[in-house]
Amino acid sequence: MAGNKRKIQEINAGSMADIAFLLLIFFLVATTMSNDKGIMRQLPPMPPEDMELEDNKVKQRNLMLVFVNDRGEVMAQDGRDQGRGQNFNIWNPAESQRLTEKVKEFVLNPSNSEALPEMKEIELDLPDNKGKIKYLESSGVVSLQTTRNTNYDTYIAVQDALTRAFNDVRNQASISIFNGREMKDLNDEEKAVITKAVKIKISEAEPRQKNKK
Amino acid sequence: MAVMKKKGSKELPPISTASLPDVIFMILFFFMVTTTMREQELLVTTKLPNATQVQKLEKKSLVSHIYIGEPVKHMQDKYGKATQIQLNDAFKTPQDIGNFIAAERAAVEEADRAYMTTSIKADKGTTMGIITDVKQNLRRAEALKISYAALEPAK
């Protein structure tokens, strides 16, 4: 009776929790939370070495100069300023926003001013064969200059203010092209259209040497 | 008899721990999914700057990291306090970036190479000189997509 139906002994699962704890602690120690975020930038390709350096001249009105010096002072100057830049204290949120607004106005040229960049009409292909749309692309370039002793923290704060301006412009473009939808509500293909319409044009010159000998 | 029975029912039954492993496993899986393996030991301290307009780095395996900052305490007696560049797990000069990028590129499938990003994790206190040297070398190595690692300030 009891002989052919041998009872299988139950495995003790009491230590299961300990094993799971062990694994858990291993993973806690050996891994890191990924919080990798950053300001994305595309560097310009290096010109070939045999190419002669010629100044590819950008028209004065299409250029905005942003200069950050050793002491972390920020100066911005575009066609409206007639050779006299405006100073910004980048650590003051209101002034940082003022810089953003200045860049935005420079890029968009809302008043069609002679001192601000030319706007060129370009044609954009809409995704899903929805035809083409015309958009006024700005020829404005922001030239960001630093010295070798400029603090990285300040530099990132300025980059942040500039990026904010370009992101706002993109948002506006998105709203006008995609009927009131903001950039964050677009899908990847639609985002690509906006990125093509509003390119982040920040040119970074080599840092100024302090003592030119 | 009746008295005995009453006494028995008054005792609290022990809490069953049978579901404890399940709970722990659940936490374990959570950590396995949300975290990534620590790749290298940091030899420099990097206090990242703050920025609001940050974008998330997408494919982890396609990101190469360059750490720039002051050496950590136990490396300071050997290297001093001067800013160092850490590639993989050693201090390098900006000129080594070309080889570093080439090695990173070789480890990635050809189809994915266009999506490779270099993340510059530099300390707040760094000066632009070293950052520019790094950037110039990245341009030379044709690693043009970069990301300046930054933290979003807490709201």
CATH for B77 = 3.30.420.270
- Is residue B31 in a domain? no
How many angstroms separate the CA atoms of A74 and A86, rounded?
Answer: 8
Q: What is the domain range of residue A144?
A: 60-204
Give residue A212's pLDDT. Answer: 38
Residues A119-161 pLDDT 10s: 877 777 777 777 777 788 888 888 888 888 888 888 898 888 8
In this prediction, residues A97-106 reach a mean pLDDT of 86
pLDDT reading at A1 higher than 80: no
Give residue A4's pLDDT. Answer: 60
**Which token pair is B112?**
């994915």
CB contact under 8 A, A36 and B56: yes
pLDDT reading at B2 higher than 60: no
- Is residue B63 in a domain? yes
pLDDT bin (cut points 50, 70, 90) of residue B16 is: confident
- Is residue B130 in a domain? yes
Q: Which of A18, A25, A33, A37 to mutate to test the interface with B (most CBs of B within 10 A)?
A: A37
> Of chain A residues 147-186, which have a CB less than 8 A from chain B?
147-153, 155-157, 159-160, 163-164, 167
The helix (run of H) or strand (run of E) holding residue A122 is strand A119-125
Give residue A56's pLDDT. Answer: 61
The helix (run of H) or strand (run of E) holding residue B105 is helix B97-106
pLDDT reading at A88 higher than 70: yes
Bridge-based pairing of strands A31-33 and B35-37 is antiparallel
Q: Which of B23, B50, B137, B148 to mutate to test the interface with A (most CBs of A within 10 A)?
A: B148
Residues A15-69 pLDDT 10s: 888 888 898 898 888 887 767 788 888 888 877 766 665 556 667 778 888 888 8
Q: How many domains does chain A have?
A: 1
- Is residue A25 in a domain? no
- Is residue A174 in a domain? yes
Portion of chain A with pLDDT greater than 70, in percent: 87
> Of chain A residues 87-146, which have a CB less than 8 A from chain B?
146
CB contact under 8 A, B20 and A36: no
Please tell me the distance in Å from B76's CA to the nearest CA on chain A: 22
User: Which among A33, A45, A157 has CB closest to B144?
Assistant: A45
**Which token pair is A80?**
């409206």
**Which token pair is B35?**
């975290």
CB contact under 8 A, B127 and A150: yes
**Which token pair is B9?**
């029912």
The helix (run of H) or strand (run of E) holding residue A138 is strand A132-138
- Is residue A114 in a domain? yes
pLDDT bin (cut points 50, 70, 90) of residue A2 is: very low
Q: What is the domain range of residue B55?
A: 44-148
CB contact under 8 A, A164 and B151: no
Q: How many domains does chain B have?
A: 1
Q: Are B92 and B86 in contact (CB under 8 A)?
A: yes
Portion of chain A with pLDDT greater than 90, in percent: 0
- Give the least confident one: A16-25, A58-67, B76-85, B124-133: A58-67
Mean pLDDT, chain B, rounded, equals 83
Portion of chain B with pLDDT greater than 70, in percent: 92
**Counting Cβ atoms within 10 Å, is residue B147 exposed (0-12), middle (13-18) or buried (19+)?**
buried
**Beta-carbon contacts of residue B64 (< 8 Å; ≥ 6 apart):** B100, B101, B104, B116, B117, B118, B119, B143
- CA angle A100-A194-A75, nearest 5°? 20
How many angstroms separate the CA atoms of A192 and B10, rounded?
Answer: 71
- For A201: left if phi > 0, alpha if psi spans -120 to 50, otherwise beta; the answer is beta
Break chain B down into helix, strand, coil percent, rounded to 5: 45, 25, 35
- Is residue B123 in a domain? yes
Instruction: Give the C-alpha distances (Å, rounded to integers) separating B99 from A45, A169, B87, B92.
Output: 18, 38, 10, 11
Mean pLDDT, chain A, rounded, equals 79
Q: What is the dihedral of CA A188, A190, A196, A201, to 10 degrees?
A: -70
Residue B142 DSSP one-character state:
T
pLDDT reading at B146 higher than 80: yes
User: Which among B17, B125, B148 has CB closest to A39?
Assistant: B148
- Is residue A178 in a domain? yes
In this prediction, residues A70-99 reach a mean pLDDT of 81
How many angstroms separate the CA atoms of A148 and A66, rounded?
Answer: 15
3-state secondary structure of A137: strand
How many angstroms separate the CA atoms of A196 and B1, rounded?
Answer: 89
- Give the least confident one: A192-196, A209-213, B72-76: A209-213
